[in-house]
Copies of this chain bind each other. A is one copy, B any other.
Amino acid sequence: MRITALAGGVGGARFLRGLLHHARQSYPLGSDHDQLDLTVIGNTGDDITLFGLRVCPDIDTLLYTLGGGIHEGQGWGRADESHHLAAELAALGAEPQWFTLGDKDFATHVYRSQLLGRGMPLSAVVERLSARWGLAELGVTLLPMTDTPVETHVVVEEQGEQRAIHFQEWWVRHRAELPADRFVVAGLDRATAAPGVLDAIRGADVVILPPSNPVVSIGIILGVPGVRDALRGTRAPVIGVSPLVGGRPVRGHADVCLRTIGVEETSAGVAGLYADFLDGWLVDEDDPIEGRPGLEVVRRPLLMSSVEAAADMAGAALELGLRLRAERAPA
């Protein structure tokens, strides 16, 4: 069973861990679908260079979460982490100090930066990092959306003046509280989808959009030339999971991001962003959205309070995808 997912950081990673959990529970060895082949296309739009090192927050959250090294409480960074390096950088007066990097996490960035510095494409670096986290053994292939360096910037207004800051500065340092005028993704228009990305969408049995941020995570991946066309053209049903419960994001600032781009902060608003390719839409139990021809709506509790809860959600999305696929299949 070939599943392809587009994912941001914490929410996407937890959802996909749930999907793996669901598959292990529901499709024991020897059953239909026991060969899970999950390709995850990770957002690289919030990548940032810090202290001269290339940091890929979403990719790393996916690696650590799926590989079993994540700090559960935070949702990002490594478990059992120390911060000696960052403390010494602060003693040296190095900036910025608003982005937390632990000692183990730093190793990922040092290693990646070294390989990138040698001219290795990011996708090859991610392949090496995936090997360290045993993703192949889980049936998972992690791909960055592109090997082209792209960076999401936020045009903010302060005292009547506009200036662009890195997305991470807006998100982490200012907690998305600085009024944003728009998002600008530097380099996205000349980016090329990383090797395997478009084929993974075209060749999937089911495509899933986890409840990642529809603007600054999924939205950025959709902006990579060719990705949107591949989603429109794929024979696989495309199943989305709403990131909003009761009009508010479960985590993060999807509501602020939606308002910034002028889209209603409802599951209907988000579904509108995906209207040209979305086939199934998993929403919260109390969500008022109605299905329409071509868009099947399914309701489920959307809180990922545990691996099991995430597995239930992911299972519902997958079952919806498999059902739509079966309905489409020639008799």
Name the B residues within 8 Å of A92 (CB-CB): 107-108, 111, 128-129, 132
Q: Across chains A and B, which 5 residue pairs bring their CB atoms closest together, nearest first?
A: A52-B114, A88-B107, A84-B103, A88-B104, A85-B107
Name the B residues within 8 Å of A87 (CB-CB): 104, 107
The answer for the CA separation of A93 and B117 in the assembled complex, in Å, is 17
Tell me if A186 is interfacial: C-beta within 8 Å of chain B: no
Q: Do A103 and B85 touch (CB < 8 A)?
A: yes
Tell me if A82 is interfacial: C-beta within 8 Å of chain B: yes
The answer for the CA separation of A91 and B78 in the assembled complex, in Å, is 14
Given contacts A92-B128, A93-B132, A129-B92, contact A85 B104 (CB under 8 A): yes
Name the B residues within 8 Å of A51 (CB-CB): 110-111, 114
Question: Would you list which residues of chain A between 72 and 116 have a CB under 8 Å from chain B?
Answer: 81-82, 84-89, 91-94, 102-104, 106-108, 110-111, 113-114
Tell me if A263 is interfacial: C-beta within 8 Å of chain B: no
Tell me if A36 is interfacial: C-beta within 8 Å of chain B: no
Name the B residues within 8 Å of A88 (CB-CB): 103-104, 107-108
The answer for the CA separation of A102 and B87 in the assembled complex, in Å, is 13
Tell me if A304 is interfacial: C-beta within 8 Å of chain B: no
Task: Give chain B nearest CB distance to A146 CB in angstroms.
Answer: 22
Tell me if A53 is interfacial: C-beta within 8 Å of chain B: yes
Residue of B nearest to A105 (CB): B88
Pick the residue among B53, B85, B94, B111 that contacts A89 (CB under 8 A).
B111
Residue of B nearest to A113 (CB): B52
Name the B residues within 8 Å of A91 (CB-CB): 107, 132
Task: Give chain B nearest CB distance to A129 CB in angstroms.
Answer: 7
Name the B residues within 8 Å of A111 (CB-CB): 51, 89, 92, 94
Q: Which of A91, A103, A114, A128 has the most CB of B within 10 A?
A: A103
